[in-house]
Chain A
Amino acid sequence: MQAYRRIEMTVGAFVIVGLLAITWLAVKVGQVGGLGESGYSLVANFDDAGGVRKGSDIMMAGVVIGRIDSVKLTDNDHATMLLRINNDVKITEDAFASVRTKGIIGDRYIRITQGMEEEILEAGSEIEETESAINIEDLISKYIFSGKE
C-alpha cells in the first residue's frame, strides 16, 4: 500500500507539472484573454485597414499599449476597429490613429499619437482622426501618372 501511495504522489506531481506547462503556454505564450479582460475599448474608422487583424498591436511612442479586438467592414466602404487599450493609458480627445508597418516586411500595427487637448477619451468613444495604411503601389502609380501630366 505504501508503494501505491508513492506512485499516486508521483503521478500527481507529473499531472501538475504537465498542467503547469499547459498553463504557461496558454497564458504566457498564447496570450489567452478570457478571465476578466483588462483595458477599455475605443472605436476607430479607417478608409483602409491594410491588413491589421484581430490581435494586432496598438503602439504609442513605440510601446505596446493594447491590442485590436475586432476589425469589421461597415457601410460597405470603410473598416471599423475595436481597440482595447490598457487601463493605465489615457488618450486625448484629439489623438491620431494611423496604420503603420513594423520594419519593411513586418506586421501592421496601429500607432496612436497624443494630441494637445486636456480632455481624455471615455471607454467606447471614437478616435476621430485616423490615417489609413500607406499603400506603396498607390504611391508609385500616383507618382508615375503625375509625372506624365
Chain B
Amino acid sequence: MSELTIKQSGPAIFLGRLGRSTLRGCEQLGDATMLGFHALSLIFSKPWQGKHFVLQLYALGVGSLAIIVITGAFTGMVLALQGYYTLAKFGSESLLGAGVGMSIIRELGPVLGAFMIIGRAGSSITAEIGIMRVTEQTDALEMMAVNPKQRILLPRIVAVILAVPLLVAIFDVVGIGTGYIVGVELLGVNPGAYMAELVAKISMHDMYGGWVKSVVFGFLIGIICTYMGYRAVPTTEGVAQATTQAVVISSVCVLIIDYILTSFFL
C-alpha cells in the first residue's frame, strides 16, 4: 500500500491544490455561462413560457417588494441623518438632497437592492431548483419531452433580470422620499433646496449608471442562482450547500462587478 502512494513535497501539494481549484472555478464559470445562455436562447422557441414567467415575476418581484421598500426607506432615512450632521459642519445643509439622491441612485440602490433580492429571491430560486433535482422532477419533465431548461430556468432568469431594475427604481424613489421626510420635516432643511439641489446635481448620466448596474446585477443573480440549484449535488446537504454558495457567490460577484462597472464604464 505504501508503495502506491506517491511522495510529494509541500510546494507540489500546494501548487496541485491551487491548480485544481483554479481549473474547477474556470469549469464552473464556463458551465454556468453555457447553461444560462442556453436557457436564455430558448426564449423564442415554443412552447411559450409566458404563464410561468408571470408566476415567477410574482414570486420574485412582487414577493420582494416589501423588503425593498423597508430597506429603501431606512437607507434614505439614515443617509439623510448622517449626511445632515456631516454637511452641517460646513454649513452646506442645502446639499443634503444632492448627497442622498446621488448615493442612492448611483450606488446604494442597485447594490443594496441586489443584496436584498439575492437574500429573498435568489436563495429561494436555488433551493427550489435544487429540490426539484433531488426529487427528480427535472427528470420527470424530460421524460414528458419538456425541456427543463426552458420550463424551469428560463422564466426565473428572465423574471429576475426584469424584476431587479423595477425594484431598484422603487428603492430609489422610496429612499429619496424618506430622505426628504427626515431631512426636511425632522431636521429642518429647506424643502425647496432639497429637491432643487437633487434635480440640479443628478444628471441623466447618473441615472444610466444606476440602471446599467441593476440590469447587470439582475442578470448575474439569475444566472448564478439558477446554475447553483441546477448543478447542486442531489442530496439534502448538497442543496443546503448550494443555497449558501449561491448567496455568497452572487453577493461577492455583485460587489466586484459594481466596482468594475463604476470605474470603467460610468
Contacts and interface: CB of A to CB of B under 8 A. Distances in A.
Nearest to A57: B200
Contact of A14 (B61, B206, B211): B61
Nearest to A8: B54
Nearest to B207: A30
B173 A24 contact: yes
A21 B202 contact: no
B200 A18 contact: no
A56 to B, nearest CB: 10
Interface size class on chain A is 20 to 34
Given A7-B58, A8-B54, A29-B101, A21 B207 contact: no
B97 to A, nearest CB: 10
A32 interface: yes
Nearest to B176: A29
Contacts of A14: 57-58, 61-62, 65, 166
Contacts of A22: 165-166, 169, 211
Given A8-B54, A11-B62, A29-B101, A18 B170 contact: yes
Interface in B42-75: 51, 54-55, 57-58, 61-62, 65
Q: Closest 7 CB pairs between A and B? A: A18-B166, A21-B169, A30-B207, A30-B204, A22-B169, A21-B173, A14-B62
Interface of B: 51, 54-55, 57-58, 61-62, 65, 101, 105, 165-167, 169-170, 172-173, 176, 198-200, 202-204, 206-207, 211
